[in-house]
Chain A
Amino acid sequence: MIFLSDFSVIKPDFGLLFWTAVIFLLFWFIIGKFAFRPIAAALRKRESDIQGSLDEAKRVRQEMANLKTENEALLVQAREERAKILKEAKDAGTKIVDEAKGKAKEEVQKIVASAKVQIENQKMAAITDLKNQVGAISLEIAEKVIRRELQGNAAQEAFVNDLVKEIKLN
């Protein structure tokens, strides 16, 4: 085994075994305890912080989205309500106007009817009056004619003419 005779690295010597064990165990306990463990803990904390922040952001975004949809729904509802109210108002207005129109018409008709009645009444009164007057005049004429006849012809004619003139003056 001449090849291996000077190949000292394959022959583990006691000193190096001892020192390696001491150094590695110390390294493990000291660096592990005061560096690796705190770093791992810090990293884990940061990871959970980041995850927490992401989750929070997600939740807030979801909430925002929910709010938005809610707002939109509200808006749509409001719009509908407005349209409804407007329509109702319009309807009410039309109704009121119609009602007013109807009432006005009725009133007008009433007034016209009463006017007509009055006119008729007045007319009838005038006609009656006229009739009465015509009657009275006729009677007067007839009376005067009859009186003249009793006086002569010429006189009767002149008298009729006078009477006719009188009528014209009226």
Chain B
Amino acid sequence: MRRYFLSFICLLCLSVFAFSQDGHEQPPVGQHGEGTVQHDAVCGPVEEHEFNPGATAFHHIADQNIYNIGPWSFPLPCFLYAPEQGWSIFSSGKFHIGHHGNGHAAVDRYALVEGSVRRITDPAFPSGEVQLEGTFLKKMEVDGKQKEVAFVCYGGKNYAADSKSTADGGLFGGGITSFYDFSMTKNVVTMLLVAALLAWMFFPVAKAYHVRDGMAPKGIQSFVEPIFIFIQDEVAKPFLGHKWEKYLPFLMSLFFFILGLNLFGQIPFFGNSNVTGNLAVTMVLAIITFLLVNLSGNKHYWSHVFWMPGVPAIVKILILTPVEIMGLFIKPVTLMLRLFANITAGHMVMVVFVGLIFIFGKGEVLPSSAAAVGSILLTIFMMAIELLVAFIQAYVFTILTASYIGAATEEAHHH
């Protein structure tokens, strides 16, 4: 009992330590290395020293080009492509990762700001490796929209840097910029790690069924089997009828991949990865589901989409068919958004709860400690709920996918 109490205290101290660094220096300004001090005036707008829980949360759930374990940052491989200068491949360690994911160096006009690679578009900026005097983010108006723009200081001058291209078509403030980032980011590494962990778990299980044929399950086999049978009997079989075996590997992959990533994201201080809370990840899963559903759709399914039997033609043309066609796309979009929103919300709430320490504490030791106790309790409660959400969202994604595949492959039966 005493040991648990001690580890609880340690965790508390560690969390205060880890987050206090974020809290006091938001937004981060260029103050790294030698000779940066005299440039502080030029090197970044020292706007607000106040703790901003929203910005902190956004920073913590974002994908990054570095991997954080506790207070340490580990470099990751960068694969960058800019139409102007072609491919650049190097380790993000070349940026000389400093505090808060800000690089001390620029490589081929690329710089690391807030853990993300940016590209300096100004042709006056030198190519190759250069020492930077600082990096910062600044809110400003770009094309009539408020945006947070990254700047790097070099030679006493501020250079604006592009963020990587995103596929939101400008809808959420992104869009195509001067470069594409195909790096193995924190989320990619986490996905690889989770996939490897799942393989490490499932291959021995599969082997055990072969080796221990005709015997009762044992060890990890007995742990996996109930979950496996649950998905098989409660998800695959009821929705897919006699075709369940064909789609079982996909449903299982979906469930365990999402569950693994959801749970991995719950581990504190180990990457703080928010993989299933990233729209790109859920988008890919939803697109694959969309393709699988519609490629396995039979005549019955398509006739119900385009020409619903037993309904007057005018109703079909005006209402039913357009709605059905919209439905084809709305289904994967809801899958994508549901998982993304649930996991992102969970991660953000967690960061904001920890942020309460800095909102109430204002940097003083005593109120901070008092707030920490309340915040830790809330965070523990939230983590318990997030654990539930991790399972529920993986289950919901899988069961809805199963129902869509079931609807697409259902045999015609006369009403």
Contacts and interface: CB of A to CB of B under 8 A. Distances in A.
The residue among B180, B252, B288 with the most chain A CB atoms within 10 A of its own CB is B252
Contacts of A30: 199
Contacts, number: 185
Interface string B301-313: 0000000000000
B253 A24 contact: yes
B280 A27 contact: no
Interface residues of A, number: 43
B202 A49 contact: no
A27 B232 contact: no
B288 A6 contact: no
Nearest to B175: A11
Interface string A32-60: 11111111101110100100000000000
Interface in B164-218: 164-168, 172-174, 180-185, 187-188, 191-192, 195, 198-199, 202-203, 205-206, 209-210, 213-214
Q: Interface of chain A, helix or strand or loop or mixed?
A: helix
A7 B183 CA distance: 19
Interface stretch (A13-21, A74-82, A122-130, A141-149): A13-21
Contact of A39 (B198, B205, B214): B205
A89 B150 CA distance: 120
A11 B61 CA distance: 12
A15 B116 CA distance: 12
B147 interface: yes
B251 to A, nearest CB: 9
Contacts of B130: none
A12 interface: yes
Given A6-B55, A36-B253, A17 B280 contact: yes
- Chain B interface residue bracket vs A: 35 or more
B87 to A, nearest CB: 13
A66 B163 CA distance: 82
Contact of B248 (A2, A16, A37): A37
A11 B173 contact: yes
B7 to A, nearest CB: 31
Given A15-B185, A40-B248, A23 B206 contact: no
Given A9-B344, A31-B253, A2 B116 contact: no
B263 interface: no
The residue among A8, A28, A38, A44 with the most chain B CB atoms within 10 A of its own CB is A8
Contact of B63 (A5, A8, A25, A27): A8
Contact of A12 (B59, B188, B277, B280): B280
B344 A24 contact: no
B248 A27 contact: no
A114 B206 CA distance: 111
A15 B174 CA distance: 14
Contacts of A44: 245
Going nearest first, the 10 A-B pairs with the smallest beta carbon separation are: A32-B249, A42-B209, A12-B280, A11-B174, A11-B166, A35-B202, A16-B280, A20-B284, A15-B182, A2-B146
